[in-house]
Amino acid sequence: MRKRTIGLTIVAVVLLATALMAAPNAPQGVDMTRTNAVRLFQVPAAGDDYLHFTVWDTIEIPNVGTDTVELNGTYSIRRLESNTHDWKTANLTIQLLGMDVRGASSVLGPVSVALNGANVGHVYPTDSERTPKFCVVEGQVKITLHKLGATVFNKEPIPLAHQITHIPPIGQGGSSPDTMRIPLYNVADPNGAPVAYLLRVRTQIGGYVG
């Protein structure tokens, strides 16, 4: 168990160091002071984070095609006060306040994504003071598929799971299950048949926006 803990700690340090070293080459506007202040295995006080964000959405549009599109932009989260600031036992809730990411695919055309109502996540206790915590978020989004001329939304929550070693988890990310196939409905016809399907989501959290 001790070897596993040491190994995970080394991986966590490398991930965070890589993220912080890469930050100067990130898009202009990274707040290096706040980004460099993030510490491993520590639970900060409640607060809001405005961060750079990258997401890869795999989308299927019937009669058009399926592709994975990289979307870049920002998102903001609110961390509620934890029950304790001890890393091992801390439970805390996070609320996603906003998201604005955009990208383009040669198959799907331009795509943009925003939040659609409440998006809540939870960070759970872990095994020790130096092991990753498990974070789960249920996503509700609106996806604008410009090639279709339509904005679509999900009724079934998008399950996203993360293993995190610091809060906010800059340089880390999560993903949905590989077998996911969530129907997406046109906001102009919410009770109609699905017009697209979300097959997978992967995320990567960047540094603080300056």
Is the pLDDT at 10 greater than 80? The verdict is: no
Give pLDDT tens digits for 20-60: 434 444 456 899 999 999 999 999 999 999 999 999 999 99
Give pLDDT tens digits for 21-32: 344 444 568 999
Mean pLDDT of 104-122: 95
Both structure tokens of 134:
């498990």
pTM to 2 decimal places? 0.86
Give pLDDT tens digits for 115-150: 999 899 999 999 999 999 999 999 999 999 998 899
Least confident of 25-34, 62-71, 82-91: 25-34
Is the pLDDT at 189 greater than 70? The verdict is: yes
